[in-house]
Amino acid sequence: MPKRTVFFVSDQTGVTAETMGHSLLTQFEGLEFKAVTLPFVATVEKAAEARERIDATAVAEGTPPIIFSTLIKDDLRDIVKDANGVFLDFFDAFLGPLEAALGVKSSHAAGRAHGMADLQSYTQRINATNFALSNDDGTQTRDYQQADVILVGVSRSGKTPTCLYMALQYGLYAANFPLTPEDLETVRLPGPLASHKAKLYGLTIRPERLQQIRHERRPNSSYASAQQVAFEVRQAEALFERFGIPFLDTTDTSVEELGSRIMQKTGIERRLRP
Amino acid sequence: MPKRTVFFVSDQTGVTAETMGHSLLTQFEGLEFKAVTLPFVATVEKAAEARERIDATAVAEGTPPIIFSTLIKDDLRDIVKDANGVFLDFFDAFLGPLEAALGVKSSHAAGRAHGMADLQSYTQRINATNFALSNDDGTQTRDYQQADVILVGVSRSGKTPTCLYMALQYGLYAANFPLTPEDLETVRLPGPLASHKAKLYGLTIRPERLQQIRHERRPNSSYASAQQVAFEVRQAEALFERFGIPFLDTTDTSVEELGSRIMQKTGIERRLRP
């Protein structure tokens, strides 16, 4: 079966339309889609171009494409709605019920969803990102006082991307500290961590997966050997248990889910609101 | 007016429900909301807890809260739908029309939206993040061959968070290189950039904003002086123009929008699909 084309049309980046469309389409297992994002459709000309492109795709594929729209302005939406496609409109579906519930009319103003970054949240995000970078991989530990959370785990267990995601998405100050083979030999808590025990969160990973990841990085090294990897993971988990450090398995878990679960389990409050 | 509480209820992280709710609520200017995310509502017990919490809020505030739900399983959704609130259901609104358009029933399976990260996209994201980190701030330039894009700009113009966002969201290999006062004195292209001109993308920023950001970092330094900042920004823009490097102003622009615009203007294809 040929792939059906799905358009994500937005007057902004298209990230909301993509998120929404992706969530829905994954409910249709076995079907494959060709995704096309049309961002910054913010003028009548751009909207007409989008409509033409959708129409051309309908002709070429012999079936109307799916359209996920987050266009907010009526004049632009009306143009794209006219295209030969299945038009699923985010604002159409929900603004009416929301207006009724809130007892006010919405502004129908374009470009608010991902619009201007206000200075405060921009600064928060930048500061959190800088914190994650300068406290990555145990490079420094003197700012742990400021940390919201300190992720601990063996090399390549997923600490860095999780910290960066928490910084960018939630504005949290997330540091990370690697457990070295020497630390693991003795199952002791490295010095810089001992005075911040309440902030520690462990990450673990299935040995086979860790081996695969390390092998890609340093093929056939002892660092990537089955024996070394099994030893490190076993000792890290023993260390988490000995010191009462909560931990998560990163093997099958996205950074989104890791970030969200860590916040939920620790009760850390996000610093950036959605 | 007291803030109305808004619940984001999900069997997963809640990120989709938050994104959707945020886009809609920003259409109601002047109203303020108290946001509560209830993630991982994946059992009947958790759903009943969510309903109780919503009901209690309705009583305490004397008005039914707004509920944005991405619950996919019917039994869980039915429980939360029963709460005393305005229930806006993402799947309710769109799955029906999509099933009709696609001619198949959806799986109604929980936890697919942000579910298991498949190995390939996980690896891509990690590799891209590592690339951004090891090619941050001009620390090394030997991997520019691999870069999808190289962001160029003065110190604190927003290069690092934009690179990280492009890596995490799109799996792109984004490096960044700082223009130093010495480079700017002569308006010449720094050596490592000359052979990768087609990959360069400039970032600029309004001098007043840059001054504010630098002042927070190093108060009352010459680095943060009005004169220095104005000089650097002027020269950087002159350099972009002299060498035909496209550029964007980051002052009022979120990293989402910067990432999306750079992709659109350069035609770089994302490496991670939504």
Q: Which domain does B55 fall in, by range?
A: 4-102
Q: Across the interface, do B168 and A93 touch by the CB < 8 Å criterion?
A: no
For residue range B193-218, what is the model confidence (pLDDT) as tens digits? 999 999 999 999 999 999 988 988 88
Which of B20, B61, B131 to mutate to probe the A interface, most A CBs <10 Å?
A: B20
Q: Give the nearest partner residue to A257 out of B12, B20, B259, using CB atoms.
A: B12
pLDDT at A187 over 60: yes
Q: Give the nearest partner residue to B93 out of A94, A126, A252, using CB atoms.
A: A94
| pLDDT score for A108 | 72
The four Cα atoms A80, A83, A85, A91 give a dihedral, to 10 degrees, of: 20
Does any domain span residue A113? no
Is B256 in CB contact (< 8 Å) with chain A?
yes
* H or E stretch covering A63: none
| Distance of residue B184 Cα from the nearest chain A Cα, in angstroms | 24
The mean pLDDT value for B24-52 works out to 92
Is B72 in CB contact (< 8 Å) with chain A?
yes
Does any domain span residue B236? yes
| pLDDT score for B112 | 45
For residue range A39-87, what is the model confidence (pLDDT) as tens digits? 999 999 999 999 999 999 999 999 999 999 999 888 999 999 999 999 9
> Is B169 in the same domain as B42?
no
| A194: CB partners within 8 A, 6+ apart | none
Tell me how many domains chain B contains: 2
Nearest to B260 by CA among B172, B133, B152: B172
| pLDDT score for B114 | 39
Q: Is residue B164 within 8 Å of residue B148, measured between CB atoms?
A: no
Which residues from chain B sit within 8 angstroms of residue A16, using beta carbons? 19-20, 23
Q: Is residue B67 within 8 Å of residue B9, measured between CB atoms?
A: yes
Q: Which two tokens stand for residue B221?
A: 């330094």
For residue range B63-84, what is the model confidence (pLDDT) as tens digits? 999 999 999 898 999 999 999 9
Q: What is the value of ipTM here, to two decimals?
A: 0.76
Is A10 in CB contact (< 8 Å) with chain B?
no
Q: Is residue B128 within 8 Å of residue B101, measured between CB atoms?
A: no
Chain A to chain B, count of Cβ pairs less than 8 Å apart? 217
Does any domain span residue A110? no
- Domain edge (last residue) among B52, B73, B102: B102
Strand partners, A86: A66
> Is B139 in the same domain as B249?
yes
More confident residue, B1 or A253: A253
> Is B56 in the same domain as B11?
yes
Q: Is residue A37 within 8 Å of residue B34, measured between CB atoms?
A: no
Q: Which two tokens stand for residue A69?
A: 């729209």
Is B14 in CB contact (< 8 Å) with chain A?
yes
Residue B142 burial by CB count (10 A; 0-12/13-18/19+): exposed, middle or buried?
exposed
More confident residue, B73 or A29: B73
Nearest to A202 by CA among A161, A236, A253, A251: A236
Q: Quote the CA–CA distance of A103 and B31 in Å, as a whole number.
A: 11
Q: Across the interface, do A113 and B4 touch by the CB < 8 Å criterion?
A: no
Percent of chain B with pLDDT over 90: 62
pLDDT at B155 over 50: yes
Edge to edge, what strands does the sheet with A149-154 contain? A174-179, A149-154, A200-204, A247-249
Q: Across the interface, do B274 and A126 touch by the CB < 8 Å criterion?
A: no
> Is A131 in the same domain as A245?
yes
| Distance of residue A182 Cα from the nearest chain B Cα, in angstroms | 24
| pLDDT score for B127 | 83
Strand partners, B87: B67
- Give the other-Cβ count within 10 Å of B260's Cβ: 26
| Segment of A58-67, A94-103, B32-41 carrying the highest mean pLDDT | A58-67
More confident residue, A150 or A40: A150
- Domain edge (last residue) among B47, B71, B102: B102
| B209: CB partners within 8 A, 6+ apart | A119, B251
Q: Across the interface, do B19 and A18 touch by the CB < 8 Å criterion?
A: no
Is A116 in CB contact (< 8 Å) with chain B?
yes
Q: Quote the CA–CA distance of A128 and A172 in Å, as a whole number.
A: 6
Which residues from chain A sit within 8 angstroms of residue B123, using beta carbons? 213, 216
| Distance of residue A200 Cα from the nearest chain B Cα, in angstroms | 21
More confident residue, B269 or A1: B269
Q: Across the interface, do A164 and B161 touch by the CB < 8 Å criterion?
A: no
The mean pLDDT value for A137-146 works out to 91
Nearest to A210 by CA among A186, A232, A182: A232
Q: Is residue A129 within 8 Å of residue A167, measured between CB atoms?
A: yes
Does any domain span residue B56? yes
Task: Measure CA of the first residue to CA of the last residue in chain B; give whole Å.
Answer: 39
| pLDDT score for A274 | 61
> Is A226 in the same domain as A132?
yes
Tokens 């996980």 -> residue: B122
The mean pLDDT value for B38-46 works out to 94
CATH number of domain containing A43: 3.40.50
Is B118 in CB contact (< 8 Å) with chain A?
no
Does any domain span residue B40? yes
> Is B79 in the same domain as B163?
no
| Segment of A99-108, A110-119, A138-147 carrying the highest mean pLDDT | A138-147
| Distance of residue A40 Cα from the nearest chain B Cα, in angstroms | 8
> Is B39 in the same domain as B144?
no
For residue range A113-130, what is the model confidence (pLDDT) as tens digits? 433 345 567 678 778 888
> Is A123 in the same domain as A21?
no
What average pLDDT is seen over chain B? 90
pLDDT at B111 over 60: no
- Domain edge (last residue) among A47, A69, A102: A102
Q: Which two tokens stand for residue A191?
A: 């010095």
Q: What is the DSSP letter of B28?
A: S
Percent of chain B with pLDDT over 70: 94
Q: Is residue B218 within 8 Å of residue B156, measured between CB atoms?
A: no
Which residues from chain B sit within 8 angstroms of residue A39, using beta carbons? 260-261, 264
By C-alpha distance, the chain B residue nearest A14 is B260
Nearest to A236 by CA among A197, A201, A194, A198: A201
Distances B176 to B34, B106, B158, B230, B257 between C-alpha atoms, Å: 38, 43, 10, 21, 18
Nearest to B132 by CA among A54, A168, A265, A22: A168
> Is B53 in the same domain as B10?
yes
Does any domain span residue B66? yes
pLDDT at B268 over 90: yes
Does any domain span residue B29? yes
Q: Quote the CA–CA distance of B13 and A261 in Å, as a whole number.
A: 7
Which residues from chain B sit within 8 angstroms of residue A14, using beta carbons? 260
Is B220 in CB contact (< 8 Å) with chain A?
no
> Is B90 in the same domain as B187?
no
Is B28 in CB contact (< 8 Å) with chain A?
yes
Which pTM was predicted?
0.75
Q: Which string of b and e fits B53-81 if b means at least 16 CB within 10 Å?
A: bbbebbeeeebbbbbbbbbbbeebbebbb
Percent of chain A with pLDDT over 90: 62
> Is A57 in the same domain as A93?
yes
Is A39 in CB contact (< 8 Å) with chain B?
yes
Q: Which two tokens stand for residue A21?
A: 């469309």
| pLDDT score for B180 | 93
| pLDDT score for B274 | 62
The mean pLDDT value for A86-92 works out to 91
> Is A135 in the same domain as A238?
yes
Q: Which two tokens stand for residue A169?
A: 């998405």
Q: Which two tokens stand for residue A113?
A: 């969803």
Which of B7, B9, B23 to mutate to probe the A interface, most A CBs <10 Å?
A: B23
pLDDT interval class at B116 (50, 70, 90): very low
Does any domain span residue B35? yes
Is B187 in CB contact (< 8 Å) with chain A?
no
Q: Give the nearest partner residue to B256 out of A114, A123, A273, using CB atoms.
A: A114
